[in-house]
Amino acid sequence: MNKKVITICLVACSIVAGLLLIPVSGIVAQDNGRAQLTLNGGRQGPVPFNHQLHQAIVEECAVCHKDFGKKTGALDEAKKTGALKAKQVMYKTCMACHRAKKRAGEKFGPISCSACHA
């Protein structure tokens, strides 16, 4: 074989190998959303939400996102369509977790309405 054929084969193999790594890099570089969010708190006012802190503590997205999607406005949309009731996530997920952490003697989040709503 001559050098030109070997070079072409090596370049082709490199391209194919690079293309095979694209799906893996997509899994590793997962979009975790914004670090800080402001949730619609209804009549009580907005709820500043430290998304990054919750990701570090909870680690598994499905714990919170089992009831609503991972996109901007998903929580409000789920309430609007009737998939979720008002305060359902707050009481059954957020407050339940915060109270369980308090009972366990761990650092916990707010457990009163006024502590979250701005």
pLDDT tens column, 58-73:
989 999 999 899 999 9
Average pLDDT over residues 44-50: 93
Is 50 found in the same domain as 23? no
Residue 13 marked in a binding site: no
Whether 44 and 19 share a structural domain:
no
Whether residues 20 and 53 share a domain: the answer is no
Element (H, E) at 49: strand 47-50
Task: Judge whether 9 is annotated as a binding position.
Answer: no
The per-residue pLDDT for 118 is 74
The answer to whether 118 is annotated as binding is: no
- The answer on 64 and 19 residing in a single domain is no
d(CA 1, CA 87): 71
Amino acid letter, 112? S
Mean pLDDT within 12-39: 63
**Domain boundaries, position 1:** 1-30
Average pLDDT, the chain: 82
pLDDT for 28:
47
Q: What pLDDT, on a 0 to 100 scale, did the predictor assign at position 107?
A: 94
Whether residue 79 is contained in a domain is answered as yes
